[in-house]
Structure 1
Amino acid sequence: MLCFIVIVMPKTQGVELGPKAVEKWFKKLPYAKQKVTKFHFYFHDTLTGKNPTAVTIAQSNMTAKSPTFFGSVSMMDDPLTVGPEPNSTIIGRAQGIYGSADQNEASLLMNLNFVFTTGKYNGSTLSVLGRNPVFHQYREMPITGGSGVFRLARGIATAKTYWFNTTSGDAVVEYNVVVLHYDI
Structure 2
Amino acid sequence: MRRTLILTKILILYLFIVSVQSKYHSRSLPYDSEEAKVTNLHFVLHETISGSNPTVAMIAQANITNNDNNSSVPFNTVLALDDILNIGPETNSEVIRNAQGLGVLIAETSTTNLLWFWDFGFITGKFNGSFISMFSRNLTTAMVHELSVVGGRGKFRMAKGYAQIQDYIQNDTIIISELNVTVIHY
User: TM-score, normalization: structure 2?
Assistant: 0.77
Structure 1: runs of 5 or more not aligned: 1-25
User: TM-score, normalization: structure 1?
Assistant: 0.78
1:91-124: CA deviations, max 9, x gaps? 1210011111111221110001001111111110
Q: Residue 75 of structure 2 corresponds to which residue in structure 1? A: 70
Cα distance between partner residues in 2 of 1:145 and 1:73: 22
Alignment of 1:150-161 (within 5 A): 150-161=156-167
Q: Tell me the SS of whatever aligns to 1:174.
A: strand
1:55 CA drift (Å): 0.7
1:32 CA drift (Å): 6.4
Alignment of 1:83-162 (within 5 A): 83-104=88-109, 105-162=111-168
1:177 aligned to which of 164, 169, 181: 181
- Quote the sequence identity (%): 39
Aligned Cα RMSD in Å? Answer: 1.9
Corresponding letter in the other structure for 1:98: G
Deviating more after overlay: 63-72 vs 85-94? 63-72
Structure 1 residues 73 and 121, CA, compared in 2 at 3 Å: closer, same or farther? Answer: same
Deviating more after overlay: 77-86 vs 60-69? 60-69
Do the aligned partners of 1:62 and 1:71 also contact (CA within 8 Å) in 2? no
Q: Residue 40 of structure 1 corresponds to which residue in structure 2? A: 42
> Which protein has the larger Cα radius of gyration, Structure 1 or Structure 2?
2
